[in-house]
């Protein structure tokens, strides 16, 4: 089994067993959770755990947890009172299939499931690392992280916002749980603070490169490849890196941030080839 297949299998295993009263909710949760995506965040958890000498089986609950958080944020982001998107990854968005009320609750339940999953294998030996990793995830996915970033995003619509505010938005909105994924992998492996700090910088750099690349692709990619309307951010009059800096400068930034990220990996003793490849593939992707 490839690592991605292991992640898919693990994700499915955490959906609660059938229940006659609540099945619609479970179906809605599963619909979005197994809807594909690149599983970048789970891979970061597992690879940083491995890089720090840990067992990826110990990190798998956190790999799944971070993907559950990511998935719930997409469901809520698509709701009519938010971005009002009818499609996600080329499929009807959650609320188009299950209704707004169930979609809202499926998101809520996926957030809870993330923390249940993260604490599903507690032993006296790992409890301290598990509790620290939970705290890390909760911090980065909450008001000071991902959700805060979504608020900055909302408040920026239809405004000309500067590059500082845009960076702060992305640092929180997409960057925060990417950083959390990198840090949690290290925490579960019992890595020292220096390594956690380097993982955080790696996450910060690829997170920003990822977002700038997203803005570039939003302008250049073809609709069917991306699975969402090309140029939707421009239509909403949102400031993007491309609208502020131009495509050429943005492409340079993606390259330099990726090189920084590769440097962050040098402080680790283990084999970081997979993470190197991941960073490079994010920078070079065409969808």
Contact set with a copy of itself (CB under 8 A): 16, 19, 21-22, 24-26, 29, 72-73, 76, 79-82, 100-102, 104-105, 107-109, 111-116, 118-120, 122, 124, 127-128, 130-132, 134-135, 137-139, 141-145, 147-148, 150-152, 154-155, 165, 168-169, 172
Return the number of the residue (53 or 162) whose C-beta is nearest a copy of itself: 162
CB of 49 to a copy of itself, least distance (A): 18
Return the number of the residue (16 or 37) whose C-beta is nearest a copy of itself: 16
Please give the DSSP secondary-structure letter assigned to residue 17. P
CB of 64 to a copy of itself, least distance (A): 13
How many C-beta atoms surround the C-beta of residue 32 within 10 A?
27
Return the number of the residue (33 or 275) whose C-beta is nearest a copy of itself: 33
Return the number of the residue (177 or 182) whose C-beta is nearest a copy of itself: 177
CB of 267 to a copy of itself, least distance (A): 26
Q: Residue 156: which residues within 8 A CB-CB, separation 6 or more?
A: 165, 166, 169, 238, 239
Where in 86-178 does DSSP place strands (E)?
87-88, 91-92
Q: DSSP readout, 167-184?
A: HHHHHHHTHHHHHHHHHH
3-state secondary structure of 52: coil
Return the number of the residue (143 or 247) whose C-beta is nearest a copy of itself: 143
Q: Distance of alpha carbon 24 from its chain centroid, rounded?
A: 25
- The length of the chain in residues reads 287
CB of 152 to a copy of itself, least distance (A): 5
CB of 172 to a copy of itself, least distance (A): 8
How many C-beta atoms surround the C-beta of residue 203 within 10 A?
27
Q: What is the rounded distance in angstroms from the CA atom of residue 94 to the CA atom of residue 106? A: 9
Return the number of the residue (130 or 275) whose C-beta is nearest a copy of itself: 130
CB of 134 to a copy of itself, least distance (A): 5
Q: Interior CA angle at 64 toward 19 and 21, to 5°?
A: 10
Buried/exposed 112-151: b ≥16 CB within 10 Å, e otherwise: ebbbebbbeeeeeeeeebbeebbebbbebbeeebbbbbbe
């Amino acid at each position: 089994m490839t690592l991605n297949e292991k992640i898919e299998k693990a994700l499915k295993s955490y959906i609660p067993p059938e229940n006659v009263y609540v099945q619609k909710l479970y179906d809605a949760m599963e619909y979005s959770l197994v809807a594909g995506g690149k599983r970048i965040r789970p891979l970061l958890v597992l690879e940083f755990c491995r890089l720090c000498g840990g067992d990826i089986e110990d990190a798998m609950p956190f790999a799944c947890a971070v993907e559950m958080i990511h998935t719930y944020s997409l469901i809520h982001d698509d709701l009519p009172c938010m971005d009002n998107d009818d499609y996600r990854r080329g499929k009807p968005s959650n609320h188009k299939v299950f209704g707004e009320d169930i979609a809202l609750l499926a998101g809520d339940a996926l957030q809870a499931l993330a923390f249940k999953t993260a604490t599903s294998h507690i032993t006296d030996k790992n409890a301290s690392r598990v509790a620290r990793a939970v705290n890390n995830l909760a911090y980065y996915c909450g008001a000071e992280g991902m959700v805060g970033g979504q608020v900055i995003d909302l408040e920026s619509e239809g405004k000309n916002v500067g590059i500082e505010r845009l960076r702060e938005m992305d640092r929180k909105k997409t960057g925060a749980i990417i950083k959390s994924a990198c840090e949690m992998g290290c925490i579960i492996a019992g890595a020292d603070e220096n390594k956690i700090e380097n993982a955080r910088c790696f996450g910060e750099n690829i997170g920003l490169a990822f977002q700038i690349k997203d803005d570039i692709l939003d302008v250049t990619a073809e609709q069917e490849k991306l699975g969402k309307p090309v140029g939707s951010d421009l239509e909403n009059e949102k400031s993007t890196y491309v609208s502020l800096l131009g495509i050429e400068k943005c492409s340079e930034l993606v390259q330099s941030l990726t090189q920084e990220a590769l440097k962050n990996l040098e402080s680790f003793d283990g084999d970081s080839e997979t993470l190197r490849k991941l960073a490079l593939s994010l920078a070079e992707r065409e969808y």
